[in-house]
């Protein structure tokens, strides 16, 4: 069984059909025929490029991406990554309307590119791009987690953790990177008595999230088409 025609094929078939119609219809004014031909030429250019009307402009590598990742034994693994926010060097920002779960629908707007650069420079100075400067990932197997992807020049890195997701449950806390029950204890007390390493990571994560929130515009226009990202590890 043959598959459904692609958008490109349908576009081209339609273009040639219109051209044929214009060429064989004798009662069409020359001006109308000229307008038809010009419009069809544009459609043919589109067809030969192989682009889709719904294809998002995401081929350029973003500077920042905030996603919810997952996999392993998670039954919902095919829905990952769930995009929360993406920013490109030219100032384009796309974000999910649902900042808790991520994913579509998305909105987009533009910010001053210098603000994106300033954010990257700020965290580069404290060693975020240095793999050995601190432990970048804190999450266990087969569980969802947040990931912040940063790209500066030829360097990129990820900062990842599951503590924010698990601590939406009022009875859980993440200490030393592991999930545990509060059992009547106060979360703030347990965090305060946690290891220095994970306390410092929490502070860094909080600063990153705050910066990304500031970069995300308050208003935007609906994003037409899907949003796909392929980011290197």
Query: What does the pLDDT average to over 144-151?
Result: 96
Residue 64, phi then psi, degrees to nearest 5: -140, 140
Position 145 in a domain: yes
| pLDDT tens digit sequence for 97-114 | 999 999 999 999 999 999
Shared domain for 29 and 79, answered yes or no, is no
User: How many domains does the chain contain in total?
Assistant: 2
> What is the C-alpha to C-alpha distance for residues 121 and 124, in angstroms, rounded to an integer?
5
Sheet holding 221-222, edge to edge: 137-138, 155-161, 145-152, 64-69, 82-87, 92-96, 106-110, 221-222
Please tell me the number of Cα atoms within 13 Å of 113 on its side-chain side.
Answer: 7
Percent of the chain with pLDDT over 70: 71
Query: What does the pLDDT average to over 133-142?
Result: 92
Pairing of strands 106-110, 92-96: antiparallel
Shared domain for 131 and 97, answered yes or no, is yes
Query: What does the pLDDT average to over 54-78?
Result: 69
Position 88 in a domain: yes
- Supply the mean pLDDT for the chain: 80
Position 76 in a domain: yes
Give the pLDDT of residue 7: 40
Shared domain for 89 and 122, answered yes or no, is yes
* Tokens 């500066």 belong to residue: 152
Give the pLDDT of residue 230: 84
Shared domain for 40 and 70, answered yes or no, is no
> What is the C-alpha to C-alpha distance for residues 167 and 171, in angstroms, rounded to an integer?
8
| pLDDT tens digit sequence for 207-233 | 999 999 999 999 999 998 888 888 887
Position 79 in a domain: yes
Residue 4 confidence (pLDDT) above 70 = no
Residue 72: pLDDT band by 50, 70, 90 thresholds?
Answer: low
Shared domain for 18 and 72, answered yes or no, is no
Contact 191, 202 (CB under 8 A): yes
| pLDDT tens digit sequence for 168-185 | 999 999 999 999 999 999
């Amino acid at each position: 069984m043959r598959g459904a025609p692609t958008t490109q094929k349908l576009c081209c078939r339609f273009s040639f059909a219109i051209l044929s119609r214009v060429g064989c219809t004798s009662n069409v004014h020359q001006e109308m025929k000229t307008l038809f031909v010009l419009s069809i030429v544009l459609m043919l250019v589109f067809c030969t490029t192989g682009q889709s009307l719904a294809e998002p402009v995401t081929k350029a590598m973003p500077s920042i991406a905030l996603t919810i990742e997952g996999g392993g034994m998670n039954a919902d693994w095919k829905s990952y990554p769930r995009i929360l926010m993406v920013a490109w060097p030219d100032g384009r920002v796309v974000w999910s309307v649902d900042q808790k779960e991520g994913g579509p629908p998305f909105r987009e707007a533009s910010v001053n590119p210098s603000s994106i650069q300033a954010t990257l420079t700020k965290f580069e100075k404290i060693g975020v791009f240095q793999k050995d400067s601190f432990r970048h990932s804190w999450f266990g197997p087969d569980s969802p987690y947040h990931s912040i992807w940063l790209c500066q020049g030829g360097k990129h890195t990820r900062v990842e953790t599951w503590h924010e997701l698990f601590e939406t449950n009022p009875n859980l806390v993440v200490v030393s990177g592991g999930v545990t029950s509060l059992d009547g204890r106060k979360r703030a007390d347990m965090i305060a008595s946690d290891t220095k390493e994970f306390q410092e990571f929490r502070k860094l994560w909080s600063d990153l999230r705050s910066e990304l929130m500031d970069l995300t515009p308050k208003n935007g226009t609906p994003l037409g088409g899907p949003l796909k990202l392929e980011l290197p590890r």
